Each structure stands twice: as C-alpha cells, then as structure tokens.
Amino acid sequence: MRQVIGWRDYVWNIYWHVGPAYRSRNALSARRSLPSWFLELDAEAVEARCLSDVLAGVRDRGWVHHIPRLMVLGNYALQRGWYPAAVTDWFHRCFLDGYDWVMLPNVVGMSQHADGGLMATKPYAGGGAYLNRMSDYCSLCRYAPTRRVGASACPYTAGYWWFLARKRRTAGRQPPDDPAVAWAGSAAGPGRGGGAGVRPRFGRPIASRSGRRERGSRRRADRRSRTSPRPDRCRPRRVRPGCRGSSGPLTRAPRGAVPGSAATAPASCR
C-alpha cells in the first residue's frame, strides 16, 4: 500500500519541493566517472553474476525492478564513488520509466545519498552477505559473498568496506552530525563484522537496532539476576557460549526449592 498511496507521493513532493538544485547535489563528494562497460551495458564483460544479470535485463528490456536498481546497480555506483549526476543520467537514458521526477529523488536521494540524508536516513550500501540473503545469485557466482579480500572476494563486500573506509577518512571534513558519517561509524563498529582495527574514531555512532535489543535484554537479565536465585556456576554477567544463563529466560524456581540447587538453574545450564 505504501508503494501506491505513500511512496509515490513522497517522491513526487520531494521532487517539486526541492526544485532543480536537487540534480546537482553531491553530499558525499563522489567524483569518479562511470566505466565504459557500465555505460554500454556490456553484461558479458562482468563476472559478478548479480551485476551481469541485472545489466543484461536493462540492456534487453530497458527495465528492471526497483530492488535490483537499488541493491545491485545503485549500490555498486555508491560503493565506488561514481558521480551522482552521471549515474542519474545513465538511469534516465537506459530505463523506459526514466522520468525526471522518478529518477532524481530515487537516484540522487535514495540510491546515491547525494542529498545528505534529505530523503533517506542512511546510505543504501550493502555487501555480498546482504545480496546473498535477498537473492539467489550467489550460489553460482565465481565470487564468495563473505570474502572481502583475495581472488574470490565479492565485489560488493569489498566495495562495501572500501566505501566505509573512504567515509572514515573524509570524516574530518564532514559536519559532525552528518548522518552518513554516523552510519559509517555504527556499521563499522564492533559487533557488525568490523573486526579489530575498524572501530570508528569519529562521529557519534548511531546505536543499531540489534545493539539496542542486545542492551535491552542485558538490562532485563541484570534486573532478573538481582531477584532470581541462580546456581553458583551460572554467574551473572558471564555468558558462556551457547548458555543463555544471563540473557535468556530464567526458569522460575519451584515452590520450596533450595536456592543453588539444580531445580533453580536455568534450563540451558543444567
């Protein structure tokens, strides 16, 4: 329903509200030019299975669905820092529905985040794991969606980390409340697959939804730990792998059970 009665109105009004200047927005300072294989829709020159298939769809039908446009085409351009106005022109030229009011907000705003967050709160960048979850391309691709370096590194996974690294490098030149900087910080932080050495040193990281859930469940578990009897071997705050003792639901002790006995232990610790 949102697509019919909400989203189109939103896009239409953004287009008329912001005016012609929207076309030249480039909040992420992306300046690279589009490669010739992309400009000429040369799908055979591309080994990445998802990108090759989507490019072939544009070449043969002049149209692909909104999601491949965002997730495969726009995502690739965003990761590589292609000039947003040139990407918009490409969409105009190659798509049957390349109307100005459709393409400007969707490409400049939603796909390339060139409006600095006017239309969407964070850049639409995703790695191979995301594409693998949302499509069936990866199983037959020569690249591995989880690899970011090496000969079998997925171009989307490598590109995703390259994009984050560029954002972190330019963070000093961005306003401190730039949502893209904060997003890059939270996306690269511990617990998001960042690993050692990628902890963000700039911006105020936005708490991810999973992070908030995790902290919420930890607080609830702490509250329970102050009121529920626990066996010594399931100490509060120390969670063993596979043991949900401090974050999972505690079993209520049977009436009359002796604190510390097996009857009062969480099921996962027995």
Residues in the site for ligand SF4, rule: CB under 6 A? 48-50, 128, 131-132, 137-138, 141, 143, 145, 154-156
CB of 125 to ligand SF4, least distance (A): 13
CB of 178 to ligand SF4, least distance (A): 28
Output 96 or 149, the one with its CB closest to ligand SF4. Answer: 149
> Nearest residue to ligand SF4, using CB?
141
Output 96 or 151, the one with its CB closest to ligand SF4. Answer: 151
CB of 71 to ligand SF4, least distance (A): 9
- Residue pair 52/82 in contact (Cβ under 8 Å)? The answer is no
- Residue pair 155/76 in contact (Cβ under 8 Å)? The answer is yes
Q: Which of 168, 160, 81 is nearest to 127 (CA)?
A: 160
Neighbour-count burial for 3-14, b at 16+ CB within 10 Å, e otherwise? eeeeeeeebeeb
Output 84 or 155, the one with its CB closest to ligand SF4. Answer: 155
- Residue pair 41/94 in contact (Cβ under 8 Å)? The answer is yes
**CA distances to 106, 187, 194, 197 from 190, in Å:** 31, 8, 6, 9
The structure tokens listed for 214 are 């995790």
Residue type, 217: S
Output 49 or 167, the one with its CB closest to ligand SF4. Answer: 49
Output 11 or 153, the one with its CB closest to ligand SF4. Answer: 153
CB of 72 to ligand SF4, least distance (A): 8
CB of 142 to ligand SF4, least distance (A): 7
Output 111 or 132, the one with its CB closest to ligand SF4. Answer: 132
Neighbour-count burial for 131-148, b at 16+ CB within 10 Å, e otherwise? bbeebebbeebebbbeeb
CB of 234 to ligand SF4, least distance (A): 41
Q: Which of 218, 224, 50 is nearest to 128 (CA)?
A: 50
